[in-house]
């Protein structure tokens, strides 16, 4: 069976991230929001973690936010020892993974039993406006399409990855943020400052003509206006939470092991199976 092609050009992604690090933290506001929300979730867990690892493509930023953690790159093979951690945070990188399930499996193996995994990544609604404007412009200008924005998973699909990776008690939720910009070019500058420009392995390597981006800017500005002549951009943060399996975790009861009847708890009469008549209604 043939191996599927890589999603990401890792060399191009590393170059984009190095350029982002040299531009400062002004464009890293979404990482700051993600880190704040990770801290809130950890505060809600009644547990003290002593061996935390952060997996990210932005090590300087996340090391400052979690100085007691070991920070490791989001390489295809994670630099983590099996059973060495009681907490692993996968920070704003899963959408670039060539093998997202593999990333989660490696994180689970790095956890001790009942260790916590917490991931935050961009979700499928992110940059929906830019994706639509670029696609419409490219069809109009060139008559075809090429990949320009990395595909990002929907929250339900990403949540299913937790089960595939073998985590217990999986939970997936999301937060949608609408950000306004003076123009689409301001959005592109922020994406460059986050290291989130096109690093797809199957991207068109030829320099795009000015006509394409001029048309994309025109379409974007007309279709997605915000107040005061600005434009809007959507960012979706998806949070995935799961626990390394442990015998101490709560388990579902066996069928038929209940000690009380549901009808008694609800205060309603119990009907034989197949009887749907029920009591008369007023």
pLDDT tens-digit series, residues 71-87? 999 999 999 999 999 99
pLDDT at 256 over 80: no
Predicted confidence band of residue 204 (pLDDT cuts 50, 70, 90): confident
Three-class SS state of 201: coil
The model's pLDDT over 105-142, given as tens digits with 9 standing for 90+, comes to: 999 999 999 999 999 999 999 999 999 999 999 999 98
pLDDT at 268 over 90: no
Other Cβ atoms less than 10 A from the Cβ of 241: the count is 19
Task: Give the pLDDT of residue 75.
Answer: 96
- The CA distances from residue 243 to 47, 118, 121, 137, 175, in Å, are 13, 9, 18, 44, 21
Beta bridge partners of 120: 91, 239
- Torsion angles phi and psi, residue 130, rounded to 5: -65, -40
pTM for the model stands at 0.85
Give the sign of the dihedral formed by CA 251, CA 82, CA 15, CA 193. Answer: positive
Strands 231-243 and 85-91, sheet pairing = unpaired
DSSP H or E run through 210? helix 210-223
Higher pLDDT, 271 or 21: 21
Task: Give the pLDDT of residue 248.
Answer: 82
Max Cα-Cα span within the chain? 74
CB 232 within 8 A of CB 127: no
Q: Which of 118, 100, 116 is closest to 164 using CA atoms?
A: 100
pLDDT at 271 over 70: no
CA 29 to chain centroid, in Å, comes to 16
Structural domains of the chain, with CATH: 10-246 (3.40.50.150)
Query: Cα separation of 196 and 151, whole Å?
Result: 12
Task: Give the pLDDT of residue 3.
Answer: 66
């Amino acid at each position: 069976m043939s191996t599927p092609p890589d999603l990401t050009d890792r060399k191009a992604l590393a170059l984009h991230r190095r350029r982002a690090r040299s531009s400062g933290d002004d464009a890293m506001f979404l990482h700051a929001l993600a880190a704040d929300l990770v801290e809130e979730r950890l505060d809600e867990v009644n547990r003290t973690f002593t061996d935390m690892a952060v997996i990210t493509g932005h090590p300087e930023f996340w090391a400052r936010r979690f100085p007691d953690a070991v920070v490791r790159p989001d390489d295809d093979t994670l630099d983590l020892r099996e059973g060495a951690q009681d907490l692993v945070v996968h920070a704003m990188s899963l959408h670039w993974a060539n093998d997202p399930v593999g990333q989660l499996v490696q994180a689970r193996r790095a956890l001790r039993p009942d260790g916590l995994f917490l991931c935050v990544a961009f979700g499928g609604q992110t940059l929906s406006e830019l994706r639509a404007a670029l696609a419409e412009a490219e069809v109009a200008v060139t008559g075809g399409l090429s990949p320009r924005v990395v595909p990002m998973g929907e929250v339900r699909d990403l949540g299913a990855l937790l089960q595939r990776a073998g985590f217990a008690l999986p939970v997936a939720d999301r937060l949608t943020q609408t950000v306004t910009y003076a123009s689409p070019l301001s959005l592109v500058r922020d994406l460059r400052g986050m290291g989130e420009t096109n690093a797809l392995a199957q991207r068109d390597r030829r320099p795009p003509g000015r006509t394409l981006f001029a048309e994309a800017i025109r379409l974007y500005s007309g279709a997605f206006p915000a107040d005061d002549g600005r434009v809007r951009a959507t960012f979706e943060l998806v949070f995935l939470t799961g626990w390394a399996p442990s015998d101490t975790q709560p388990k579902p009861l066996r069928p038929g092991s209940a000690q009380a009847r549901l009808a008694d708890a609800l205060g309603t009469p119990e009907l034989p199976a197949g009887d749907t008549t029920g009591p008369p209604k007023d």
